[in-house]
Amino acid sequence: MNIYVLMKRTFDMEEQIVIENGEIRDDGEYIINPYDEYAIEEAVQLRDEHGGEVTVVLVGDEEGEKQLRTALAMGADQAFLINNEDVVDYDQFSTSNILAAFFEDREFDLIIGGNVSIDHSTGQVGPRLAELLDIAHVSTITSIEVSDDEVKLERDSEGDVEKVEASLPLLVTAQQGLNEPRYPSLPNIMKAKKKPLEVLDLDDLDLDEEDVEGKTEIIDQTLPPKKQAGRMLEGEVQDQVSELVRLVKDKAKVI
């Protein structure tokens, strides 16, 4: 099976967000978007079961090589980094159209991505790409079984479980619960350094920057208003509870 994994490099959740002049300062730790780790793990398991190849693809700047090497150490066979520098107002429209151009001349059976990235959390790229490639998609999957061209899936829909049948080629997006992503072992980290990693730019995909200019523009980025320090209640338990109910009644429009 020919499996492709869509990856994104994201800010580590533990990082403090600092905004200067409407721009987010980007000197913190970066990680593989956690949902993409499920995608990589599932791709590797499916390849081990059915044979074939796992290719990981990341659209971003050169720094993304680090995350791609990690994916190779987890078991992917080859990697592509598509450089998106110089694209104006880069957004989900841009990503999905760059990826659509990348896939245009490639044969694939299955594309797996994370269902959402933890930075902008839109969940758009998977469904958008499937539409551009004219293939079906199933979002937020928690289980996938492939036999021949038939695919049986379970997906999470706001807590309910939907059992879905589809066929290849297919695009799916991973939800928590799909698997437990492995930690790469040291020997595999060494091996990953020798695996093929190719850097492409838009020219290589016959794209101009204007073709993938974003449809949205960021006007401003702000931090949430500083929350006042919370108030810790004191005294006897019953008194605290009565005080709490009084405070909540005044503050929240629920009672």
**Residues 6-25 contacting other proteins, CB under 8 A:** 11, 13-14, 17, 19, 24
Using CB under 8 A as the binding rule, the residues of this chain from 120 to 149 that contact other proteins are 120-132, 135-140
Nearest approach in angstroms of CB 196 to other proteins is 30
Q: Given the structure tokens 């499937």, which residue do they identify?
A: 130
Which lies closer to other proteins via its Cβ, residue 118 or residue 189?
118
Which lies closer to other proteins via its Cβ, residue 12 or residue 198?
12
Q: Given the structure tokens 């850097």, which residue do they identify?
A: 199
Select from 29, 147, 148, 253 the one that contacts other proteins (CB under 8 A): 253
Query: Do the Cβ atoms of 143 and 112 come closer than 8 Å?
Result: no
Alpha helices in 51-195 (DSSP H): 65-74, 92-103, 125-133, 186-192
Which lies closer to other proteins via its Cβ, residue 3 or residue 212?
212
Using CB under 8 A as the binding rule, the residues of this chain from 46 to 105 that contact other proteins are 89, 91-93, 96
Question: DSSP for 105-146?
Answer: T---SEEEEES--TTT----HHHHHHHHHT-EEEEEEEEEEE
Phi and psi based region of residue 153 (left: phi greater than 0; alpha: psi -120 to 50; beta: remaining): beta
Name residues whose C-beta falls within 8 Å of residue 197's C-beta, 6 or more positions apart in sequence: 65, 68, 69, 72, 78, 79, 80, 81
Size of the site for other proteins (CB under 8 A): 78
Interface with other proteins by CB under 8 A: which range of 46-54, 73-81, 197-205, 216-224? 216-224
Following CA atoms 194, 200, 204, 205 in sequence, which dihedral angle do they give, to the nearest 10 degrees? Answer: 110
Select from 51, 166, 190, 194 the one that contacts other proteins (CB under 8 A): 166
Nearest approach in angstroms of CB 194 to other proteins is 34
Nearest approach in angstroms of CB 254 to other proteins is 5
Nearest approach in angstroms of CB 66 to other proteins is 20
By CB under 8 A, is residue 27 in contact with other proteins?
Answer: no
Query: Do the Cβ atoms of 41 and 56 come closer than 8 Å?
Result: no
